Chain A
Amino acid sequence: MPVEALLERWGPHRNDTPPGGFEEQTRHPPDRLVKTHCCFCGQQCGIQLKVRDNQVVGFEPWEEFPFNRGMLCPKGVRRYLQNSHPDRLLAPLLRTDTGFRDAGWDEALDFTARRMREIQDRHGKDAVAVYGGASLTTEKAYLLGKFARLAVGTRHIDYNGRLCMVSAGTAYKLAFGADRAPNPWYDIPQAQVLFVIGANVAECSPITTEYVWRCRDNGGKLIVADPRLTPITRNADLYLPVRPGTDLALLLAMLHVVLRDGLEDREFIEAHTTGFDAVAESAKAWDPRRAAEVTGVPPDAIEKAARWFAEADRAMALHARGLEHHTKGVENCLAVVNLCLATGQIGREGAGCNMITGQGNGQGGREHGQKCDQLPGQRSITDPAAREHVARVWGVSPDAIPQAGLSAQEIMEAIHRGEIKGLLSICFNPLVSLPESAYTREALERLEFFGVIDFFMSETAHHADVVLAGSLHEEEEGVTCSVEGRVIHVQQAVTPPVDARADSWIICELGRRLGEPRHFAFASPREIFEELREASRGGIADYHGITYEKIDAQMGVFWPCPTLDHPGTPRLFEGGRFLHPDGKAHFQTTEWRASGDPLDDEFPVFLTTGRVVSHYLSGTQTRRIGPLIDQYPEPQLEIHPRLAEAHGLAHGDWVTITTRRAEMTLQAAVVRTIRPDTVFIAYHWAGARSANQLTHRSLDPRSKIPEFKVSACRVRKAAGPPAWAPRRKVELPMRRD
């Protein structure tokens, strides 16, 4: 079936109004308000959903929830429009010669299990892989890990968080022994210096903005390092226009200044850390002048940033994908950690280094076993004691748990090579979100079997043999863990419509067909959570003392929470106690190296990608919500007037951008808010509008995150608009005239 026909049938189409239109809402008030959380992004704002006749019909702010106190971004305000959406998948679908047909659940589930088993019988257990996602509740993520290991019996399970938080997670585990932002967000306003590097806070974690502004109102200084003047930069006290891919040099130079001027915290270093000398040695070569040549940040600005950060009583760093999406993403994050450790800026109110997790359950989704190398509780899958504990909870021998498998991008490459022949995917749209989409498409077409669990027909699902109609966020109860390590309770507001089913029911049904039914005898998410509490017990992310009731009573519980009478742990590392067995933080050396797609004469411009405020990730949901589409309808190329003029480009012109992989044409937004050696595209769209046609597959060797933030490209004026361009002139969302 041609893509056009699939798009015509399954969307994305727009939904602009609640069921029955706005007039219906005034005539028939909602039956009830459900206090729950937004489905988008790691902020996990509290929100009340209006429910009528088993449909979500609107929202109301939830002012009592302490994290966001009623605040929401446009995605949260309009999130309800995904419910009762015309594109919603309402029954399982099986591929036919001409597209898809509705199927019964038994037929679809039996088919899925049979095809997976056939491939494994012929090619071995590891010939089938499982993809998960970080927007799933923690119960679903936990269940999926158990399903992959016990029912499918494959080593290869990984998730789309591999594109998100893994560089920081790897760095924090190496340095601190735990993968979590150490500070609760109410610490942010207490910082005297706030250093935001590689984080477009206003657009990707909008609620954090208010915490940043409160910090400034308290007299705090704001430092922002980014190749673009992002919205929070409007109030920055110091802006560092770092060249893409050079954050590490900037951070090493800041450490250089700290050590050169004797601003380090010797007492803290000696009492609470190891490995300082090697890191100090590695910073010696990075004087600000050398770093300026590499980063494009003036030496005096580097000096000032370092001094402000070190001399403050309380300084805090915030960082996100801008540091992580690099072949040295782990090093970048470690360099922030090293700066905080060297200056003793950690483990206190208003002091620390904090990653801003991106996906809805970015934190909780990576703690309990859908990562290729982890078991529940942030346990290492290679640790014999961890395997024994989890095996005991699961009622199996430790040998029954497969060893570590491949990461998300590596799984796609093994599919491309023909080593993995079957794939079951939930909550992941790799055709849009993985780098070099032509390669991903080729790989998907080589699969002998591809099953998808989703609520909308994503572009990836076009390639599926079977699509199992799963559940939306508001259709199943569970917990997630927010950006600040707060475990919160997502409520079921409505039941899945028509013949769609709860995700956990689908996974259990497949588990019963593929493995021993006793492992998947869960009747509700609560039962899954009870087992998860045991599985995480004694681990780093210890949920044993958390219950649904405790979350409701406390408005969230911060892990670790080992016992029922434990209040939870909002702030980690207080008193300099870290979670390594020796109780210390471990400095890690970082080595400078170039990015995986270097500039040359043919490709002389940096391409960097990211998000806009009205869309979420691969756009599967937000490209279906009318008002969010209107706010940013199409991708555009942000380009500085200096670079635009060199290519004869005016604002609104169609421009072709070419990398070593592909080319695409889109409209130029000529703005002074980006470095002239860099262009930017948001990545939320599919097909010819997808920025990931252009990106490259180089990975960080440790975190396995792709280098979305740096590609080499060239730009030229296009002969005309691309085929996807609307007939009418596309309006750039620029200014209101």
Chain B
Amino acid sequence: MFGYEFYVDPSRCIGCKACENACAECDTHRGTPMIHVDFLDRRESIATVPTVCMHCDHPTCAEVCPADAIKKTEDGVVQSSLKPRCVACSNCVLACPFGVPKMMPRLEQMMKCDMCYDRTSEGRRPMCATVCPSQALAYVTPARMAAERRQAPSNVFQFGNQTITTKVFMMLPPDQPAVSVDVVDYMWEGRP
């Protein structure tokens, strides 16, 4: 959809997995989600984070593919592996810095989030960003994002020496001190 961008704001995520469920329901996925939601560490915190494909400008998954099976469209969407070329070696699964591609053993093919190419090409927003009840996943215009959100978008990531720029934006929190996540620290009992 022209003029729309994809934004991920993990601080909004409530871990409900509406995105995973909706992704699985998309016509082309046949019950298997291409994205996932994780607790960072449920024992310590309720914080969760959704992971969709970030659609890198220079996708590591495609760079490591020995069969040249992973293609990027002109508008920057990195697609699932081409079935006739994919040798199911899982190089992409291991190499992706965000942990996105999935090997489908039954299909002997890597599949991944393609930002709902079938939907966006018809003027419909991607399934996950449409249903997300916290709008941690949002597919909107940059102008609207700038007008409505406190956080700022970024699409530059540093993995060791590797700098990655992506089509998808991550919303970054404003500066704030460390926040405790243990209920005890907020309680009255046991205080001096």
Binds A, one of B54-62, B63-71, B85-93, B176-184: B176-184
Contact of A209 among B14, B17, B36, B39 (CB under 8 A): B14
Binds A, one of B106-114, B129-137, B159-167: B129-137
Q: Which residue of chain B lies nearest to A232 when distances are taken between CB atoms in the complex?
A: B14
**B74 at the A interface (CB under 8 A):** no
Please state if B181 and A58 are interface contacts (CB–CB under 8 Å): no
Q: Which residue of chain A lies nearest to B51 when distances are taken between CB atoms in the complex?
A: A736
Chain A contact surface mostly: mixed
Binds B, one of A84-92, A210-218, A326-334, A706-714: A210-218
**B48 at the A interface (CB under 8 A):** yes
Q: Give complex CA distance A26, B41 in Å.
A: 38
Q: Give complex CA distance A210, B133 in Å.
A: 6
Please state if A203 and B14 are interface contacts (CB–CB under 8 Å): yes
Please state if A298 and B17 are interface contacts (CB–CB under 8 Å): no
Please state if B186 and A734 are interface contacts (CB–CB under 8 Å): no
Please state if B133 and A298 are interface contacts (CB–CB under 8 Å): no
Chain B contact surface mostly: loop
Please state if B25 and A77 are interface contacts (CB–CB under 8 Å): yes
**A297 at the B interface (CB under 8 A):** yes
Please state if B30 and A231 are interface contacts (CB–CB under 8 Å): no
Please state if A240 and B188 are interface contacts (CB–CB under 8 Å): no
Q: Give complex CA distance A736, B102 in Å.
A: 15
Q: Give complex CA distance A614, B17 in Å.
A: 9
Please state if B31 and A22 are interface contacts (CB–CB under 8 Å): yes
Known contacts A22-B31, A77-B25, A673-B181; is-contact A735 B39 (Cβ 8 Å):
yes
Q: Which residue of chain A lies nearest to B47 when distances are taken between CB atoms in the complex?
A: A234
Please state if B43 and A734 are interface contacts (CB–CB under 8 Å): yes
Interface residues of A in 279-324 (CB under 8 A from B): 292-293, 295-299, 301
**B44 at the A interface (CB under 8 A):** yes
Q: Which residues of B contact A203 (CB under 8 A)?
A: 14, 16
Q: Which residue of chain B lies nearest to A675 when distances are taken between CB atoms in the complex?
A: B183
Q: Give complex CA distance A68, B18 in Å.
A: 13
Q: Which residues of A contact B150 (CB under 8 A)?
A: 216-217, 219
**B76 at the A interface (CB under 8 A):** no
Please state if A22 and B21 are interface contacts (CB–CB under 8 Å): no
Q: Which residues of A contact B47 (CB under 8 A)?
A: 234
Please state if B181 and A70 are interface contacts (CB–CB under 8 Å): no
Q: Which residues of B contact A674 (CB under 8 A)?
A: 183
Cβ distance B22 to chain A, nearest Cβ, rounded Å: 5
Please state if A672 and B135 are interface contacts (CB–CB under 8 Å): no
Please state if B42 and A734 are interface contacts (CB–CB under 8 Å): yes
Please state if A651 and B16 are interface contacts (CB–CB under 8 Å): no
**A71 at the B interface (CB under 8 A):** yes
**B172 at the A interface (CB under 8 A):** no
Q: Give complex CA distance A112, B63 in Å.
A: 71
Q: Which residues of A contact B133 (CB under 8 A)?
A: 68, 71-73, 206-207, 209-210
Known contacts A73-B133, A241-B183, A298-B191; is-contact A25 B16 (Cβ 8 Å):
no
**B95 at the A interface (CB under 8 A):** no
Q: Which residue of chain A lies nearest to B131 when distances are taken between CB atoms in the complex?
A: A72
Cβ distance A407 to chain B, nearest Cβ, rounded Å: 33
Contact of B22 among A23, A63, A72, A651 (CB under 8 A): A72
Contact of B134 among A23, A68, A202, A240 (CB under 8 A): A202
Q: Give complex CA distance A26, B132 in Å.
A: 24
**B27 at the A interface (CB under 8 A):** yes
Q: Which residue of chain B lies nearest to A208 when distances are taken between CB atoms in the complex?
A: B133
Contact of A736 among B18, B38, B130, B131 (CB under 8 A): B38
Q: Give complex CA distance A670, B150 in Å.
A: 34
Give 23 pairs: A residue, B residue, CB < 8 Å, sorted on A: A23-B30, A71-B131, A74-B21, A202-B134, A206-B16, A209-B134, A213-B12, A213-B134, A219-B150, A228-B183, A231-B48, A239-B186, A296-B188, A301-B186, A670-B43, A672-B182, A672-B183, A673-B45, A675-B187, A734-B43, A735-B42, A736-B38, A736-B39
Give the interface of B toward A (CB within 8 A).
11-12, 14-18, 20-22, 24-25, 27-28, 30-31, 36, 38-48, 125, 127, 130-135, 148-150, 181-184, 186-189, 191
